[in-house]
Structure 1
Amino acid sequence: MWHNAYAELVFSASLWPDFGQRALRQAVKLYGRRTRRFGAASGQTDANGRPPQPPPRRPAPERVARAVTAVFEPKCSVLVATVAVGWHAGQWAGLAHGLLTALFTAAVPALLIAHGHRRGHWENRHLPRRQDRLRLMPALLVSVLGGLVLARLLGAPTAITALITTMLVCLALVWAITTRWKVSLHTAVAAGALSTVAICYGPGVCAAAPLIALVAWARVRLRAHTLAQTIVGALLGGLAGAAAFALLR
């Protein structure tokens, strides 16, 4: 049975005493028309009839880079900033405003990106092509602006409205740069979130600054950005974000 595991069986209508060259040729032709699956079920073979091989395991640095990219997606950094600033501005009431702000500045943009990906407008949720980012920017600005209008109508704390306005300023700057050059949104948003939270809670928050470098490394490792693009993104988000938030709050 061990030797017959991948054997191909041909059943001839001819009895063995009548099994001649003609029957043999028919058996060989029948065998030639078969797709050998080597034990796999139908539909589980590749073009050569062999079971598909599992994809090669990615190197450990690439797996780490992908994990870092997923954890520090812009929506995640925005969520952290809105919750932290909201809590600092008014504890539970401020937290409620912060979560409402996150709806317009993180959740809606994430849904727009996911919808565009499903429709085939861009390759993945990280928008690797600069042209795709330019197509999405107007919708992002409208969503964030809607969050600002609602925050003002609901009497949100000044820190919340300052945070949303800071996002608008940084998003407009990123849009202007993206018309010519693809700056890193991951490092820009992460640095902006870190700087605004540091203004609220004190310089001790800056101890998390190495995480920005980790995000930059991940984006470069995945060949999504150059080192210069990640540095410019971090400087843009950190400096412009800090300046705008400090002035507006």
Structure 2
Amino acid sequence: MVSATARAVTNALQPRNALLTGLVGLGIAADGGPAGAGWGLLAALCAGIVPASYIEWERRRGTWGDRHVVDRRQRPRIFAVILASIGTGTVLMLLAHAPGDVLAAMVALWAMTVVLLVVNTGWKISVDSAVASAAVTLLAVVHSPWWLLAHPLTAAVCWSRVALGYHSVAQTAAGAALGAVAGASLLLC
């Protein structure tokens, strides 16, 4: 029962979904209406959907068993794709004059990914927890502090990752803390 619930939580709140929801919401808050939603969707495409598609493509090729990529030695390629995708998206949005908050969010996500990559070389920090926390914090900074009340979703992601045996409590807590710092960095912009 716990495993089925944990699997449902981790699948529903996986990075692709958290970024899609969070960045579209951020885009709407940054630029209002359909234009803002479009910027957020482009950000989500680059930060979440392209990397998730790459992971799925590699999974189908048999490179790894599922989207969780439990062997951290296999993760650097994923991080390279994420960094390239976010970087490319950021440059395109910069050239197209995207809202500053969306650009700042992309830079924060890029920097967070660099830290995740570096930490991952010696310890398997939770990417899912980092992304969940970053999405909530970004919305709180750009849209409304009331979004901080959504952090129980981050806690649910942390719980699910531990319950499924993918991470330790410390790895999920570190990921969530990193995501909160990345999201809060928008306050400096």
Q: Report the TM range for the smaller structure's normalisation.
A: over 0.9
Amino acid at match of 1:62: S
In structure 2, the residue corresponding to 1:209 is in which secondary structure?
helix
Partners of 1:164 and 1:138 in 2: CA distance: 15
Q: Is the 8 A contact 1:198 1:206 kept in 2?
A: yes
Q: Is the 8 A contact 1:170 1:241 kept in 2?
A: no
Q: Which residue of 2 aligns with 1:120?
A: 62
Deviations 1:170-208 (A, max 9, x none): 000101100100001111000011111001222211111
Aligned residues between the structures: 188
Q: Is the 8 A contact 1:87 1:98 kept in 2?
A: yes
Q: Which residue of 2 aligns with 1:66?
A: 7
The TM-score with structure 2 as length reference comes to 0.96
Q: Which residue of 2 aligns with 1:153?
A: 95
The TM-score with structure 1 as length reference comes to 0.73
Percent of residue pairs bearing the same amino acid type: 37
Backbone CA RMSD of aligned residues = 1.0
Match of 1:85 among 11, 23, 26: 26
Q: Which residue of 1 aligns with 2:80?
A: 138
Q: Which residue of 2 aligns with 1:49?
A: none
**Structure with larger RCO (C-alpha < 8 A, sep 6+):** 2
Where in structure 2 are the equivalents of 1:1-249 lying within 5 Å? 60-91=1-32, 92-243=34-185, 245-248=186-189
In structure 2, the residue corresponding to 1:156 is in which secondary structure?
coil
Q: Structure 2 stretches of 5 or more lacking a match?
A: none
Partners of 2:143 and 2:78 in 1: CA distance: 33
Q: Is the 8 A contact 2:10 2:160 kept in 1?
A: yes
Runs of 4+ in 1 over 3 A off after TM superposition: none
Q: Is the 8 A contact 1:105 1:144 kept in 2?
A: yes
In structure 2, the residue corresponding to 1:103 is in which secondary structure?
helix
Q: Structure 1 stretches of 5 or more lacking a match?
A: 1-59
